[in-house]
Amino acid sequence: MNDAAKRITVDQWDRRYDELRAAGLHEPDYGGPLRRHVDGGDRRLRSLQMDNSAASLRLWNFLLTEEDRLHRAKAEGKRIVGTMKDLGTVPIMAYSLNNVVAFYPDGAWWIPCITEHGAGLLEIADSLGIDDSYCPVRAMLGAFVLQTRFPIPDLLTCSVGATCDDVSAIAQRLCDLGFPILWWEVPHRRPPDTGETPVQLPGGFSAPESQVTFVKSELERVRDALEADAAQPLTDELLRTGIWRANRVRRRLGELRRLCFTAKVCPLPALELLIAEMLIIHFCSDQNETIEVLDDLWAEVTRRVQEGIGVLSADAVRVFWVNPVADLRVMNLLEDAGGRVCGTEYLFSHALDPIPEDLPPMEALARTALADPMVGSSADRADRICADAGRFGAEALVISRIPGASHCAMEGTIIGEMVRNRLRIPVLEIEVPPVADSMEPTLRTRLEALVETATHRRLR
C-alpha cells in the first residue's frame, strides 16, 4: 500500500478505504467508507480534497456521525444539553457530569455546506423571517424546527451580551417558538481601569476582577440548571476532573497545531486541521473519543514530520487564516493556489488555551469565558492574531468574512490594518457563503493573487 501523504477526492477514497481495510485498518463503531456519507446526503464531500490517512478517515467519520451519536445518547437516557454561543465553556461543565451529553446547536451552520443546501434548513429560516442578511448560523433555526438533525435538547443555554446579534436574535426566535433557553450574560471584556484589580486571563488578555466575578456568578446559574436537569450535583471536584480532561484535549490539539504550523512541509491539509480544531468546542458529542481521534491525528502528523513528508509543496506560502469558513471547500482553494495554513484564529482561541487548574474551577471557567475573542474588542483580537501570525512566520493573512455576521462588518478593517502595520504582510479579506461554487473563480483568483504577492516578497 502506498502511504504517501496526499489530498484525495471522495472517489479516490473508495479505493483508498479498501486498501486500508486490506492492510488491517481497525475502526471504531462509527467507522466505514466516506462514500456512505455522500449517499446519505453529505454531498459537499464530492467537491473536497481530503487527507488520505486512516487518522483523517476517523476524523471525518467522527464528525459526520455526530447526529447519530446524539440520537443514541438520547435513546440511552442521557440528558442532552445544547450550549449555544459560548464556544467551549459550558460544554466542559456539562461533560463533568456522567449522564450528560453537550453539543453546540450553532454547529448546524455547516449543514447547508455539507449537504449543499439539501437539508432545506435555510429555507425554513427564511420562512421564519431570518433571511440571508443573517449569518449561516440561521441554519440552526431550521434544524430545531425540523427536529430530524439532532434531538431537541433537554436543556438549552445561550450566552448573550457581548456576543454577535445574529445568534442572539435567532436564539430569541427559538425561545418564541417554544424552546426555553437559559440566558447567561457575558459582558464586553475591557481592560481594568486605574484602581481596579486586574486578572490575567488564559491567552494573555486581562480583565477587571469585577467582570470575572460577574461571569462566575452567571456560570453558577448555569451550574444550577445543569444540576437540576441531570438530577445530580455538579461539585467542584467533578468540575476539576472535567477541566483536567478538557485540558488534555486542548494540549493534544495544541501539539497538533504547533506541528502543523511549524513543519517545514505541511503535514496535514488545512481542511482536516480546521475540523480537528472544531472538535474542541463541544468534543463532537463524545469527549473521550475526541481524545482518541486527536491522538491518531497527532501520531500521523508526527510520523509525517519525522519523515519530512507532507501534503503540499515545501515552498507553499505560509498563510494565517482568520475566521472559520462557511464552505469547507475554500480551505482546499487556498492550498490549490499555493498556500498553506500556518496559523488560525477561528473565533474560539479561548477554547484552545489551557484552563487554569490551580484555581477554584468556577473561577477558572469564568476566566476562560471572558477570554473569548468575540467578547472583547476587535483590537484585542487583532493583538493576538498579530502575535500568533508573527510567531508562526506568516507571510500573508486571510480574513474570511462570515456573511451577515454582525461582528464581521467592522472587525476585518481593524484586524487588517493592525496586521499590515505590525507585520508588514499582505492581507486579503474575502467573504465565504455556505456553498461558494458561484464565487469560486473570484475566490481562487484572489487567493492566487495573495500567494503570488507573498511569493514575490520572498524574492525582494
Binding stretches for other proteins (CB under 8 A):
128-130, 133-134, 158, 160-166, 168-173, 175-176, 181, 183-185, 187-188, 190, 193, 210, 214, 217-218, 221, 377-379, 401, 403-414, 416-417, 420, 427, 429, 431
When the beta carbons of 15 and 420 are compared against other proteins, the nearer one is 420
When the beta carbons of 327 and 380 are compared against other proteins, the nearer one is 380
181: exposed, middle or buried (Cβ count in 10 Å: 0-12, 13-18, 19+): middle
When the beta carbons of 181 and 439 are compared against other proteins, the nearer one is 181
The least distance separating other proteins from the CB of residue 352, rounded to whole angstroms, comes to: 23
When the beta carbons of 290 and 378 are compared against other proteins, the nearer one is 378
The least distance separating other proteins from the CB of residue 21, rounded to whole angstroms, comes to: 47
In whole angstroms, give the CA distance from residue 70 to residue 273: 23
When the beta carbons of 170 and 328 are compared against other proteins, the nearer one is 170
- Tell me how crowded residue 417 is: count the other CB atoms within 10 A of its CB: 13
The least distance separating other proteins from the CB of residue 176, rounded to whole angstroms, comes to: 6
When the beta carbons of 406 and 455 are compared against other proteins, the nearer one is 406
The least distance separating other proteins from the CB of residue 133, rounded to whole angstroms, comes to: 6
Tell me the three cell numbers of residue 54. 486512516
When the beta carbons of 200 and 217 are compared against other proteins, the nearer one is 217
In whole angstroms, give the CA distance from residue 259 to residue 268: 9
- Altogether, the residues listed in the chain come to a count of 460
The least distance separating other proteins from the CB of residue 92, rounded to whole angstroms, comes to: 21
Q: How far apart are the first and last CA of the chain?
A: 43
When the beta carbons of 219 and 351 are compared against other proteins, the nearer one is 219
In whole angstroms, give the CA distance from residue 223 to residue 314: 49
The least distance separating other proteins from the CB of residue 78, rounded to whole angstroms, comes to: 28
Residue in this structure with the C-alpha cell 501534503, named with its chain if needed: 311
The least distance separating other proteins from the CB of residue 405, rounded to whole angstroms, comes to: 8
The least distance separating other proteins from the CB of residue 292, rounded to whole angstroms, comes to: 37
When the beta carbons of 29 and 193 are compared against other proteins, the nearer one is 193
The least distance separating other proteins from the CB of residue 17, rounded to whole angstroms, comes to: 42
